[in-house]
């Protein structure tokens, strides 16, 4: 035995711990988790890890040094909770949450460190393993859960408990267990058996104790239950309660009594509810019940909130008098509005059945004419009515017109640089942008941004509204700018500790934009962060999971992670069917994506069944179809038909598809993608000049839309299309030059380029073969197949595999290697038979190529059968691009004597 074969047991255990931590950390990418930059073994055989250096303090020390109160401390805890929840979503338990493993930097950002004893979960639990037993219990007793102390299997509830101990100590200033002897045995006994004091009772400062009573006591108490089943089931659930407390809402840890809900409601909305109550009471006495319930309810609540906000802005000395006049004016206006509506009808009872639009129109006309003497009331009414025009009737033009009146009114009341003017400008821009006219909305938003930038106070809430609106207005036309706006909003919310729905929306938009730019891995991370914030939502918020899941599908499938993509789509389909029903437009959106996914994962029958179901939507007259669904339906069906070799179908769908996108979005990123699809169809059917023109327009549109931050993989598809059009036009050398430059910009190992590499290799092989370089064509095809085998599952992308095998087989035949050519082409034909359409020109190409190779080996009977089948399929194809036509003529001509 060599001395080098000897290793001390503690070194072996240390290396196992190192390897485990490296494996776990490499899978975790989150802004609140310290990043793993590199890992390996040095020349002396010693393992090393390069982890993000975090210069910071523990949460306790940071809060003490910064003088932070309970609210700020809770926001730090929420950052920790988000990081732990992310790790749990990757099936990773931390198992050693404590202040020493949580650092806060100078900007107030948390970094969670030391996953050295973290465990990968199976079925939601992690059992004790040999390394843990060999090294002893690698945990910190003060923060360990009872089940850890007892050596039982642990799950996410164990990290919930440890986070509860961290919260107790951070908020109360002391550890939860008071010990006499201070021994480890006494601490273990306390953790497993001793009842805990309330945080408020343990707090040193009376003011802190008052803040901790109630919700915080209940939240931390639930996290620290001895029985894991009685704790929060997930860290996300605990974080949700903390956020609800910060927002003044009801927390799940408190008993759901009427008295408790009433206290929370009054605390959260005490001023607007008071104002609203006055109006509701007066209205009910004057009119009784009737009119449109939705309009009345929303209108009155909006008026109450508007009165409250306006009252805060008035001088103290004039407040009472102004509010009295305003409340009376609102009461008179609302009473008069609906009384006029009832009096104008022969049968007053019929007024109860009035449409929502009618009282809105009456109200808008009266607001513009009658409320000049009470401008604050007019402002409130304009705001509420404009919102109702959108929410009740989808009447964006009417809403935008009222918002414009409100902008002018606020400028007259408060001056051009008041933050209230910026808010009104955002409302006007949002109404316009909902009608897809960003050229009108963007100047309004720039003005709003200038007001916010000049504001003497921070105006953080208004700034967030402006950034969100700018991101939305530019999401399809200036993606780099949109990303900058939303990342600015995200950073601002993280500095404030803002979470919940606002952060979820920001992460969703950021993930979409990153995907548009070709940064699919980063986009996927943001989208899954957003999804974690949505899980468990109910009511209207739950529907946000549907677009989040479809966006996750888009980014996951772009990097070849089809399992992840399918999981997201199935969740979205279940959610949409439950919330919206089987015939809803959102359900059909999800089904379209499932159709494509099934085709990509060798489930042709399932894909075809969905296609048959959704093609019936095209029988509905175009004006009656949903504009967004119509565009996506036409594009998806066109791409699907082209990939399946049904050129005639693809060409019929491509023209209305582009026009549908042009009407729906105008010049934009998605219109450029639609033009790419039509260009591919045009080129395949020999309309080469048209294809070149469409690709040039699409390329210019993409350059404008993607801006300065376009990743190489973001433009790879259109560059590839340009090369393919040249190849199909007969310019193989020009196509090869484009493909070579594109291949150099996309490293094989780059996750965002995984699917681009085999596709580029396929077209390179075709171009090399056309230029007489058969041996190099074989190498290119083999490279593409190897890259697919390395990154994808065997069943993924069967048609791309078939294309690569066809190119390899054609190149082998040209190099007089008929035996391997036959095997390769036979494999290509099997894939086409299993996954392709019966009318496919691509299947015809494979059959004729295999017939030629089989004939060269002397098997005339099989060659004749294959050739006849290929000719029959090819006869139904319309005009073909020169490259494709020559290929068919060549392989058919060499087997002509089989007719």
Tell me the C-alpha distance between 890 and 628, whole Å.
44
Between CA 748 and CA 233 the distance in angstroms is 41
Q: In whole angstroms, give the CA distance from residue 604 to residue 492.
A: 47
Q: Compute the distance between CA of residue 118 and CA of residue 116 in angstroms, rounded to an integer.
A: 6
Contact 592, 614 (CB under 8 A): yes
Coil, strand, or helix at residue 681?
helix
**Is residue 416 classed as helix, strand or coil in its secondary structure?**
coil
| Alpha helices by DSSP H, 145-234 | 146-149, 156-172, 184-193, 199-202, 206-212, 215-223
Instruction: Please answer whether residues 867 and 836 qualify as being in contact, where contact means their C-beta atoms are separated by less than 8 angstroms.
Output: no
Rounded Cα gap, residues 495 and 445, in angstroms: 23
Q: What is the separation, in whole angstroms, between the first and last Cα of the chain? A: 73
Cα separation, 606 vs 594, whole angstroms: 9
The long-range contacts involving 331-335, CB below 8 angstroms and separated by at least 24 positions, are: 331/278, 331/279, 331/282, 331/283, 333/366, 333/367, 333/370, 333/371, 333/377, 333/381, 334/279, 334/282, 334/283, 334/299, 334/300, 334/303, 335/282, 335/283, 335/286, 335/287
Locus of tokens 């799940």: 252
Across the chain, which distance is largest between two alpha carbons, in Å?
Answer: 108
897 is an active site residue: no
Active-site residue identified among 5, 38, 82, 96: 96
679 contacts 698 by C-beta, under 8 angstroms? yes
Closest by alpha carbon to 222, among 245, 205, 248? 245
- Residues 567 and 524 sit within 8 Å (Cβ to Cβ): no
Q: Are 413 and 375 in contact (CB under 8 A)?
A: yes
Separation CA 112–CA 100 (nearest Å): 9
Place of tokens 């009155």: 300
Count of other CB atoms within 10 angstroms of residue 279: 21
Q: What is the DSSP letter of 57?
A: B
Nearest to 466 by CA among 425, 414, 412: 425
Compute the distance between CA of residue 524 and CA of residue 285 in angstroms, rounded to an integer: 55
Name the pairing type of β-strands 119-120 and 154-155.
unpaired
Rounded CA-CA distance 754/752 in Å is: 6
- For strands 125-126 and 119-120, give the pairing: unpaired
Phi, psi of 48 (to 5 degrees): -140, 160
Instruction: Tell me the three state secondary structure of residue 415.
Output: coil
DSSP element (H, E) containing 49:
strand 47-51
Q: How many helices (H) and strands (E) in the chain?
A: 40, 8
Place of tokens 């006591």: 217
How many angstroms separate the CA atoms of 222 and 255, rounded?
Answer: 12
Contact call for residues 51 and 547 (beta carbons, < 8 A): no
Asked if 694 and 681 touch (Cβ cutoff 8 Å), the reply is: no
Helices (H), 771-840: 774-791, 798-814, 818-835
- Give me the residues paired with residue 49 across strands: 39
CA dihedral (433, 436, 441, 443) in degrees, to 10, reads 150
- Strands 154-155 and 125-126 turn out to be antiparallel
Residues involved in catalysis: 96
């Amino acid at each position: 035995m060599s001395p080098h074969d000897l290793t001390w047991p503690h070194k072996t255990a240390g290396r196992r711990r190192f390897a485990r931590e490296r494996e776990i950390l490499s899978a975790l990418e989150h802004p609140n988790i310290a990043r793993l930059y590199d890992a390996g073994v040095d020349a002396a055989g010693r393992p090393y890890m390069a982890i993000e250096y975090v210069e910071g303090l523990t949460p306790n020390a940071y809060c003490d040094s910064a003088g932070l109160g309970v609210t700020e401390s809770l926001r730090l805890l929420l950052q920790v909770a988000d990081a732990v929840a992310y790790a749990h979503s990757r099936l990773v338990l931390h198992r050693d949450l404590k202040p020493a493993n949580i650092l806060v930097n100078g900007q107030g950002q948390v970094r969670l460190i030391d996953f050295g004893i973290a465990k990968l979960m199976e079925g939601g639990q992690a059992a004790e393993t040999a390394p843990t037993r060999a090294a002893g219990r690698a945990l910190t007793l003060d923060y360990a859960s009872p089940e850890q102390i007892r050596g039982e299997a642990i799950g996410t509830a164990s990290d919930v408990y440890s986070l509860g101990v961290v919260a107790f100590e951070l908020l109360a200033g002391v550890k939860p267990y008071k010990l006499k002897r201070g021994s480890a045995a006494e601490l273990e006994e306390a953790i497993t058996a001793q009842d805990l004091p309330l945080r408020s009772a343990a707090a040193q400062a009376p003011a802190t104790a008052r803040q901790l009573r109630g919700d915080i006591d209940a939240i931390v108490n639930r996290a620290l239950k001895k029985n894991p089943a009685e704790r929060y089931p997930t860290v996300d659930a605990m974080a949700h309660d903390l956020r609800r407390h910060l927002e003044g809402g009801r927390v799940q840890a408190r008993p759901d009594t009427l008295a408790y809900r009433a206290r929370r409601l009054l605390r959260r909305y005490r001023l607007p509810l008071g104002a609203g109550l006055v109006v509701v009471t007066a209205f009910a006495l004057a009119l009784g019940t009737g009119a449109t319930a939705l309009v009345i309810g929303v209108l009155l609540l909006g008026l109450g909130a508007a009165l409250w906000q306006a009252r805060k802005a008035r001088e103290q000395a004039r407040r009472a008098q102004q509010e009295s006049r305003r409340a009376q004016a609102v009461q008179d206006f609302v009473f008069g509005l609906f009384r006029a509506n009832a009096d104008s009808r022969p049968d007053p009872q019929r007024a109860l059945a009035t449409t929502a639009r009618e009282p809105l129109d009456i109200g808008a006309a009266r607001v513009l004419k009658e409320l000049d003497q009470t401008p604050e009331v007019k402002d409130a009414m304009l705001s509420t009515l404009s919102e109702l025009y959108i929410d009740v009737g989808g009447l964006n033009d009417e809403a935008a017109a009222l918002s414009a009146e409100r902008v002018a009114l606020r400028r007259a009341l408060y001056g051009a640089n008041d933050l209230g003017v910026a808010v009104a400008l955002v409302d006007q821009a949002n109404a316009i942008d909902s009608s897809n006219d960003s050229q009108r909305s963007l100047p309004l938003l720039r003005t709003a941004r200038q007001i916010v930038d000049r504001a003497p106070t921070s105006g953080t809430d208004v700034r967030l509204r402006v950034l969100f609106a700018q991101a939305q207005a530019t999401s399809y036309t200036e993606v780099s700018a949109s990303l900058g706006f939303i990342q600015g909003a995200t950073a601002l919310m993280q500095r404030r500790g803002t979470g919940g729905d606002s952060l979820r929306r920001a992460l969703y938009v950021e993930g979409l934009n990153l995907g548009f730019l070709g940064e699919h891995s980063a986009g996927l991370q943001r989208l899954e962060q957003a999804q974690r914030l949505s899980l468990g939502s109910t009511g209207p918020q739950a529907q946000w999971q549907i677009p989040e899941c479809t966006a996750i599908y888009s980014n996951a499938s772009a990097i070849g992670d089809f399992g992840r993509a399918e999981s997201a789509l199935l969740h979205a389909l279940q959610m949409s069917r439950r919330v919206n029903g089987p015939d809803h437009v959102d359900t059909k959106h999800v089904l379209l994506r499932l159709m494509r996914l099934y085709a990509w994962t060798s489930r042709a029958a399932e894909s075809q069944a969905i296609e048959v179901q959704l093609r019936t939507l095209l029988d509905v007259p175009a004006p009656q179809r949903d504009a967004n669904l119509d565009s996506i339906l036409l594009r998806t069906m066109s791409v699907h038909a082209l990939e399946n070799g049904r050129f005639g179908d693809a060409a019929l769908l491509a023209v209305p598809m582009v026009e549908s996108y042009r009407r729906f979005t105008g010049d934009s990123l998605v219109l450029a993608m639609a033009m790419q699809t039509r260009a591919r169809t045009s080129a395949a059917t020999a309309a080469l000049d048209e294809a070149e023109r469409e690709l040039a327009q699409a390329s210019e549109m993409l350059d404008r839309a993607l801006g300065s931050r376009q990743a190489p993989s973001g433009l790879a598809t259109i560059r590839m299309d340009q090369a393919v059009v040249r190849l199909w036009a007969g310019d193989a050398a020009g196509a090869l030059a484009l493909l070579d430059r594109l291949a150099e910009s996309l490293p094989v190992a780059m996750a965002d380029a995984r699917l681009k590499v085999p596709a580029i290799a396929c077209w390179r092989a075709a171009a090399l073969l056309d230029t007489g370089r058969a041996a190099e064509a074989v190498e290119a095809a083999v490279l593409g197949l190897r890259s697919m085998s390395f990154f994808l599952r065997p069943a993924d992308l069967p048609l791309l595999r078939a294309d690569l095998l066809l190119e390899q087989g054609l190149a082998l035949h040209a190099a007089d290697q008929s035996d391997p050519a036959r095997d390769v082409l036979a494999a290509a034909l099997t894939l086409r038979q299993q996954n392709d359409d019966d009318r496919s020109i691509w299947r015809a190409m494979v059959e004729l190529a295999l017939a030629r190779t089989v004939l060269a080996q002397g098997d005339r009977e099989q060659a004749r059968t294959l050739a006849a089948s290929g000719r029959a399929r090819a006869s139904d194809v319309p005009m073909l691009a020169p490259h494709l036509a020559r290929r068919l003529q060549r392989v058919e001509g060499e087997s002509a004597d089989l007719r």
